[in-house]
Chains A and B, each alone.
Chain A
Amino acid sequence: ETGVTQSPTHLIKTRGQQVTLRCSSQSGHNTVSWYQQALGQGPQFIFQYYREEENGRGNFPPRFSGLQFPNYSSELNVNALELDDSALYLCASSSLTGRGYGYTFGSGTRLTVV
C-alpha cells in the first residue's frame, strides 16, 4: 500500500507569481485535504476535495484553489503569491466513509516566497 506523495519537496517563488503543488493520495482513499503549516504553528485547513468537488473550505482567500482528478490525486494552486504564503503545505488523504478514522499525511512541500 503506497502512502501519500507530494511534489515538489521544496520550491522557491517570487512574490506575485503562481504555484502548483501536487499530491497523490494513498491507495483506496477518495478524499484529499490540504493544510498550510506556517513556521512554528500547527497546520491550518485550506480545503478538501471529494469526488472531484470541493467538500469544505477553511479561512483562505480565493487565490487558493484546487483540483481533484478521477484517480483522486490533487493539485493546490496559489495565485498572486505573497510573502506570508511561505509555509509547509501538507496533503492528507482519507476515505470519506471512514472519516475520523484515518488521515494519511504526505511529507509536504516547503514553499518559500521571496
Chain B
Amino acid sequence: AQSVTQLDSHVSVSEGTPVLLRCNYSSSYSPSLFWYVQHPNKGLQLLLKYTSAATLVKGINGFEAEFKKSETSFHLTKPSAHMSDAAEYFCVVTFLTGANNLFFGTGTRLTVIP
C-alpha cells in the first residue's frame, strides 16, 4: 500500500533559523515525491519534486529535499526561515502507473516567529 507520513503536525521556528519538515513514505513501487505548500485560503503550490533523478532536489524559495531510499524519507529543509514561509506543507507521493493520483500526508503547519 502507498502512504505518506508527516511526522510533525506543527513546527515552530524563529525567523532566520533552519527549517526541517519530516516525511516518510511507504511504497511498493518506485515513487515520485513532491512537497506542496498551501497558504491560508489559497490553492496548493509545488515547491519541489523528486522523479528518480538526483536525490537532492532543489525547489523554489530556497527549499530543498533529499530522497533517501534506505530510510524511505523525503525531508524538506531550508537554511533560513522567512516570515513568508509560514504556511501548511504537504508531502505527496505518486506512482507512474495507473491514474497516478497523488497521496497526501496530513500536513505540517509551519509557524515562523519574528
Contact = CB atoms under 8 A, between A and B. Distances in A.
A90 B104 CA distance: 13
A112 interface: no
B73 to A, nearest CB: 18
Nearest to A103: B102
Given A48-B101, A100-B51, A41 B107 contact: yes
Given A100-B32, A100-B96, A43 B101 contact: no
B53 to A, nearest CB: 11
A98 B86 CA distance: 30
Interface string B75-114: 0000000000000001000111011111111110000000
A65 to B, nearest CB: 16
Interface in B13-51: 32, 34, 36, 42-46, 49, 51
Given A48-B101, A107-B42, A42 B96 contact: no
A16 interface: no
Contact of A99 (B44, B45, B100, B106): B100
Interface string A87-102: 0001010000001111
Contacts of A33: 99, 101-102
B1 to A, nearest CB: 13
A26 B74 CA distance: 28
Contacts of B42: 107
Interface in A35-69: 35, 40-45, 48, 55-58
15 contacts: A33-B101, A41-B107, A42-B104, A42-B106, A90-B44, A92-B44, A92-B102, A99-B94, A100-B96, A101-B49, A102-B46, A105-B36, A105-B45, A106-B43, A107-B42
Interface of B: 32, 34, 36, 42-46, 49, 51, 90, 94-96, 98-107
Interface of A: 4, 33, 35, 40-45, 48, 55-58, 90, 92, 99-108
